Amino acid sequence: MSATLELAKELIARPSVTPDDEGCQLLLGARLKALGFSLESMRFDEVDNLWARRGDQGPLLVFAGHTDVVPTGPEANWQFPPFTPTKHEGQLYGRGAADMKSSIAAMVTACERFVQQYPQHAGSIGFLITSDEEGPSINGTVRVVETLEKREEKIDWCLVGEPSSTDKVGDVIKNGRRGSLGAILSVHGKQGHVAYPHLAKNPVHLFAPALQELVNSEWDQGNEHFPPTTFQISNIHAGTGANNVIPGELEVQFNFRFSTEVTDAQLRQQVETILDKHALDYDINWTLSGQPFLTPEGELVEAVQQAIEAVAGYPTRLSTAGGTSDGRFIAPTGAQVVELGPLNTTIHQIDEHTDIAELDTLSAIYEQILVNLLVSK
C-alpha cells in the first residue's frame, strides 16, 4: 500500500463531520513535526486549525486544506460504511475520499519525499489546515489568515487541495473563483381567507412580477476568465399549510455567483431597485460569503502546469467554475492561489470515492511543484 493511500485511509476513518476534527490534525501534525515543521494550534470557538511551517525565510509556499467533511446522509444507502475506508475495484470509498482528505494525504507524503531529498530547500513550506470549511467558515481559514496578517507573516503561493479535476487528475486547475452573495428576502402581505381576497394582500402574487424580472435580468456578460453572473432561487416559502388561507408573509432565499465584472454593491442596488419598482413591502438581509478572485498566469500557475505535464504527461486547463473555497480568504492578502485536487465527480454524494492510482499521481505532482518553486535552477 502506498504511503498516500495509507494516510488517506487513516484520515477517512475519523468521522470528522464539520466542525469536528476528530484527531485528524494531531495525526497530520505528528507527520509534519518529524519533518522539522513548527506547529501552532489555533482553536477559535469550536473549530480546530493547524498552522505548520518549515523554514523562516521567504518565499512561503502553503498547502491549504480542510479535515472536516459534510454529513453522510442515510448511512444505509452507502455501499460501504462512510467512515470505514474501503478499496473496491480500484477506488477508495469513504466520506472525504475526494473532498478532501486524499489531497491532504498527498500533500503530506509529497513533502516527506521532498524534504528527504532537499533538506536545505529555499524558502519555507506551510500547512494551513482547518475543520471549518464545510460549515459557516467563520472560525477557520479566515481567522488563521487574520492572525498571520497581524504578525506580517505573508503567504506568497498557496495550493488548495480542493477537488478540481474533471476526468483525470490535474486536467483542470482552478486559478480563481466567482464571488458568492446570498440574501433572505421577506415580502410582507396581509393574511386572509382565500374566499375574500379583497380583504387580504397575497405576497406571493405581489412578488411574482418582480421574480420574473429578477430571473430574466442580465447582470453582466462575464469576461475571458469568468462566466456571466448567475442568479438562483434556492428556497421559497409561504403559507400556513392550509389551502384556504392567503399567506401574510413570503420568504425567499437566493444567491448570486458573480464575476469580476460586477461588484456585490451593484448587485444589491440592482435587486433593491427591482423590488422598489414593484412597490413591495419587504425586508432583505444580505450575506457576502466571498469576493471573486483571480490568480493570473505567473510563477505559481506556471509551476503547477509544468508539474502536471511532467508527471501526468498532459496539459491542464485553467478554470474559475464551481463553488467557493477557502482560497477566497487567502487571495486578498496578495498570495497567488491555485486549487488542485482529485476528481470532483462524487463530492458530497452517497458513496463518495476517488481513484486509488491517482493518489500517488497527485502526490507526485505536488512534489514536483515544490521542486519547481523551492529548488534553485
Q: Please state the three-class secondary structure of the chain as a single string.
A: CCHHHHHHHHHHCCCCECCCCCCHHHHHHHHHHCCCCEEEEEEECCEEEEEEEECCCCCEEEEEEECCECCCCCHHHCCCCCCCCEEECCEEECCCCCCCHHHHHHHHHHHHHHHHHCCCCCCEEEEEEECCCCCCCCCCHHHHHHHHHHCCCCCCEEEECCCCECCCCCCEEECEECEEEEEEEEEECECEECCCHHHCECHHHHHHHHHHHHHHCCCCCCCCCCCCCEEEEEEEEECCCCCCEECCEEEEEEEEEECCCCCHHHHHHHHHHHHHHCCCCEEEEEEEEECCEECCCCHHHHHHHHHHHHHHCCCCEEECCCCCCCHHHHHHHCCEEEECCCECCCCCCCCCEEEHHHHHHHHHHHHHHHHHHHCCC
- Known catalytic residue: 171? no
The catalytic residue among 68, 162, 326, 339 is 68
The catalytic residue among 21, 133, 162, 360 is 133
- Known catalytic residue: 68? yes
Active site residues: 68, 133
